[in-house]
Structure 1
């Protein structure tokens, strides 16, 4: 994502939501940032899922190193003649993001994100074991108001390995508004690949408060049918 800012002297607010192509941006040392939102997804004609609130807490520990804690309350609606609701806490994830190097010429800025999904959740959503998730995030500035972010991920879901990718182009307008277009997907072992695309808008209300809205749909039949998300990113004053 492009850094969002109202004035040049303000510390940049760089959020990892709502896009899936999380770039290499890291919360600066001494700052605490909370990113939270609401997600709706229609998997197919029978199943819809909700997550509210989703929450990601990011703490700048050192220059170029942040602590990350992530979780969500989930609600699944399964329709098969009658509706069945299953609600509870999703898995808690803890980890870190570490900057590898700064952007230089055509060399992108890069960071590694390492998370552990813990078996701490409602029985329906809880993994049997701790599941590691890794991703490499990159970003290239295409101009003063446009950048390209992309990532590659590998981890385990429900005990099976899964690969993922994401890429987006973000354009900043009038210092406060940014628009992005994104494609992303994943592939589990023995499963068909899932590909999706979405469009999102970010609006900087204050130098430390950004709101967002995004919607997307599937690019192939194996992927979830469509989704919608909205939320905010708030950085506590230091």
Structure 2
């Protein structure tokens, strides 16, 4: 047990060092290239909800979104607990219409029935891009398109045998000055089987610093039952480039995960 714990600490240390090193390099580049008079738009993240934002990170900026995630589910008498710490999504604004993305996590999974099985290691590496389609105008929503590919890179017990691509259409309508409706449609493949999904989120700005949201989401993979869940959360903008968040969700049907909780921090560089 002590040996496994030491190995987890070593893996976590190097994951954080790699992300910080990459972020520092890109921060220096962004500070040199972004003019002082350039006013960045309000920071918007893709966490903690399941609905991906239709916005992109600004050109020549880097946004790191990290957090802790825990879920618990019981199926056929087997209780499974999954923890990811940290989850890490690195978003890089390349052009006004293009954002590159890299995502991974350090994962720990425990399954219990009559015996207890525990596995830990790096989740698969996921890479991709988000592309701006158009801005919101009247009834026409803001729109973006994203493609992500889960690569067979990471710990053997978690990584797929082949790359698993997904495609997502992201839309957003401003219903009122402080009320937004965001919604996604997703299609992809998991180990050769197609999967379809959706997510709908309603967000309200309580103040300049606090935002709350409620969300419904789900997916269905070929041969499996559809999964439907709901969640809600609070986002706190501590600084213009630093956001804290917390969220929790639960299943709407037996096929979905019983419940989950998550909390995290997101930072945008250079400011």
**Do the two structures share a fold, i.e. TM-score over 0.5?**
yes
Is 2:194 aligned against 1:155?
no
Q: Gapped runs of 5+ residues in structure 1?
A: 1-8
Aligned-partner Cα distance in 2 for 1:78–1:158: 22
Is 2:66 aligned against 1:36?
yes
Stretches (4+) displaced over 4 A: none
Is 2:147 aligned against 1:114?
yes
Is 2:253 aligned against 1:220?
yes
CA drift at 1:42: 0.7
CA drift at 1:23: 2.3
Structure with a larger share of its residues in strand: 1
Aligned-partner Cα distance in 2 for 1:101–1:184: 24
Of the two, which has the highest radius of gyration?
2
CA drift at 1:10: 5.5
Selected match of 1:145 from 178, 181, 205: 178
Q: Gapped runs of 5+ residues in structure 2?
A: 1-38
Aligned-partner Cα distance in 1 for 2:164–2:227: 20
Asked if the contact 1:65/1:98 (under 8 Å) is kept, the reply is yes
Asked if the contact 2:202/2:214 (under 8 Å) is kept, the reply is yes
Aligned-partner Cα distance in 1 for 2:144–2:104: 22
CA RMSD in angstroms, aligned pairs only: 1.1
Selected match of 2:165 from 129, 132, 136: 132
For residues 182-213 of structure 1, the C-alpha deviation after alignment (integer angstroms, 9 at most, x for no partner) is 00001000110000000100000000000000
Is 2:83 aligned against 1:50?
yes
Equivalenced residues, count:
230
